[in-house]
Amino acid sequence: MIEFFAAIIVIGLIYGVYALLKASGRATFLADYQFPEHVKKKLSEQYPELSNSDINTVFSALKDYFIIHKVEKKKGIAMPSKIVDDAWHEFILSTREYESFCKKGLGRFIHHIPSEAMHSENSAQDSLKRAWKYACRQQNIDPKKPDRLPPLFALDARFNVKNGFTYTLNKSAFDERIFNARHIQCMAAAAAGTSAGSGAAIFGASGGDSAGDGGGDGGGCSSGCGGGCSS
């Protein structure tokens, strides 16, 4: 009997070491991964006004998004950016490369689910809150007291993306097309909710207004929120 339990412990230890090595390998793979040039080219054709450096910035944010999926394995993660979502779409179209990336970097296939397909508005909101929390932590930002926006929440405004999703930290911004990012942690359960053709996050669809990174305490929560893309 003692030998049996000893064998179980040894097997458990071996499996634990194997799991750690596998997780470490995936982390290294994600950190070193370079998106295919032809995928970047496709996004450049969609956004000809962007420089190569800008395109690389978008794909860097897409990698951040996938890393969030590596950390949060069981729950959906909203896609808060239209331009990063467009990059994701282009990557998915390269089927074999995308499947290989998911297998090697994440250990599972990440499906793209539009907000309309999510079970409820509450789940869509929770999905965005998780995206905000992890995106902030990646950039050493306090998600409850942010002093700036993480790239996933800033790029649409930075690149003036048509019908993009603009967030602000400035409580004095009352444009209905701009969502106050300070409210994401305390979003009301009921949402006004709109739909977006791209299926990207439904927060303050803008015509390209700039997001203010100004100060202010956020005071109060907004209920004007919607869904997002998740896995």
Q: State residue 134's pLDDT score.
A: 93
Task: Categorise residue 195: left if φ over 0, alpha if ψ from -120 to 50, beta otherwise.
Answer: beta
Q: State residue 174's pLDDT score.
A: 53
Which of residues 146 and 125 earns the better pLDDT score?
Answer: 146
d(CA 29, CA 129): 27
Q: Where are the domains of the chain?
A: 19-186
DSSP character for 107? S
Tell whether the model's pLDDT for residue 220 goes beyond 80: no
178-180/166-168 β-pairing: parallel
Tell whether the model's pLDDT for residue 60 goes beyond 80: yes
Per-residue pLDDT, averaged over 148-176, amounts to 84
Question: The whole model's pTM is what?
Answer: 0.69
- 128-132, 146-150, 153-157, 177-181: least confident range: 177-181
